[in-house]
Amino acid sequence: MANDRRPDDFVRITTPELADTFLEEQIGELRAQIGDKKVLLALSGGVDSSVVAAMLIKAVGDQLTCVHVNHGLLRKGEPEQVIEVFRNQMKANLVYVDATDRFLDKLAGVTDPETKRKIIGGEFIEVFAEEARKLDGIEFLAQGTIWPDILESEKGIKAHHNAGGLPEDMKFELVEPVKILFKDEVRIVGERLGLPANMVYRQPFPGPGLGVRCPGAITRDRLEAVREADAILREEFAKNGLEGKVWQYFTVVPDFKSTGIRDGKRTFEWPVIIRAVNTTDAMTAEVEDIPFELMKTLVKRITTEVKGVNRVLYDFTPKPSATIEYE
Ligand code: XMP
């Protein structure tokens, strides 16, 4: 690729026209780099990998194979959307792997947050590598690395999270077509590629997914409660004009139960905690001022629609002292 680093005079992509110019250039470069060879991409459905997938589909069509690993910790409707957009609409070569049981079996009984993250990350690479081995003649690995990833890894803040992790014997040449872009630029490019707005402008979602929103040992029933409550929160935020306005919002179902009452009978069920925060860099965060009427709707819907839940709590804590996620 011609640009390994973001040139000092690179004009920030703020308009559809600038995005189109970038796309035209990059698609040409992708074709030159890849030729008639095959490319593999782990497609999470997040903004960066989705944009890379759409660019490669344009550049090299079915020389690209996308692998979407469902680790069972995705939000409601996510795997379905990846299949709909990429396989059905964009006609991509998409391998969909439902590895839910594998991940949840490995995570059973594991309470330590960092161990949970390691298991999820490690298992992800294993599943992806297994799928890669089934394919013949892959020479390139595409990644949704963006410019802040490179800057942060250079500063030693975080390991370049996209780079590698694959077994030693699996050597691919990297294809990183958005690596000189900032996130806001990737979003504009994604829009020009025809990706749906809720995919391009979606809120940040951690790699370990709902796994870190089900604190302690993950169980299938509690995970289902987190997923259903999260879907209701997202639906209500969208209905009330908060989608795209609030930086990050989600639910957590902690591992304790309290008494309640339903239909005249005593219950002993989980609470759902709602978290909604605003930030620019995730280093500090302020709590969103959710309208009280909306809060009442959320309480009503969550306590009636989500199985095993009898209370709803709102987390008023900024970062610091709390972090955004619960573990
Ligand atoms: P915290 O909880 O540290 O989160 O205030 C800051 C931002 O990082 C996200 N986050 C993660 N993202 N893998 C990720 O890809 C992770 O393990 C992880 N943990 C936290 C979090 O959602 C928030 O946006």
Q: Which residue's CA is the nearest one to ligand 1's atom 7?
A: 282
Q: Which residue's CA is the nearest one to ligand 1's atom 14?
A: 206
Question: How far is 28 from 31, CA to CA, in rounded Å?
Answer: 5
Instruction: Give the distance (Å) from ligand 1 centre to CA of residue 208.
Output: 9
Instruction: Give the distance (Å) from ligand 1 centre to CA of residue 327.
Output: 9
Instruction: Give the distance (Å) from ligand 1 centre to CA of residue 214.
Output: 14
Instruction: Give the distance (Å) from ligand 1 centre to CA of residue 206.
Output: 5
pLDDT of the residue at 107: 98
Residue type, 50: S
Question: How far is 20 from 125, CA to CA, in rounded Å?
Answer: 34
Mutate to test the pocket of ligand 1, among 73, 112, 325, 327 (most ligand atoms within 8 A of CB): 325
Strands (E), the chain: 38-42, 64-70, 93-98, 138-142, 173-175, 248-252, 258-262, 265-278, 286-287, 309-314
What predicted TM-score, i.e. pTM, was given to this entire model?
Answer: 0.95
Instruction: Give the distance (Å) from ligand 1 centre to CA of residue 217.
Output: 19
Residue type, 155: K
Q: Which two tokens stand for residue 323?
A: 């972090």
pLDDT of the residue at 325: 98
Residues of the chain where predicted confidence (pLDDT) is lower than 50 = 1, 163
pLDDT of the residue at 157: 67
pLDDT of the residue at 158: 62
Tell me the sheet residues that pair with 259.
268
Instruction: Give the distance (Å) from ligand 1 centre to CA of residue 281.
Output: 11
Atom of ligand 1 nearest to the CA of 207: 15
Instruction: Give the distance (Å) from ligand 1 centre to CA of residue 325.
Output: 6
pLDDT of the residue at 160: 56
Question: How far is 54 from 36, CA to CA, in rounded Å?
Answer: 18
Atom of ligand 1 nearest to the CA of 279: 24
Q: Which residue's CA is the nearest one to ligand 1's atom 20?
A: 206
Pocket of ligand 1 (CB under 6 A): 117, 204, 206-208, 248, 282, 319, 323-325
What H or E segment, with its residue span, contains residue 204?
none
Q: Is the peptide bond before 320 cis (omega within 30 degrees of 0)?
A: yes
User: Which one, of 106, 39, 94, lies nearest residue 69 by Cα?
Assistant: 94
Q: Which residue's CA is the nearest one to ligand 1's atom 12?
A: 206
Mutate to test the pocket of ligand 1, among 286, 324, 327 (most ligand atoms within 8 A of CB): 324
Instruction: Give the distance (Å) from ligand 1 centre to CA of residue 207.
Output: 8
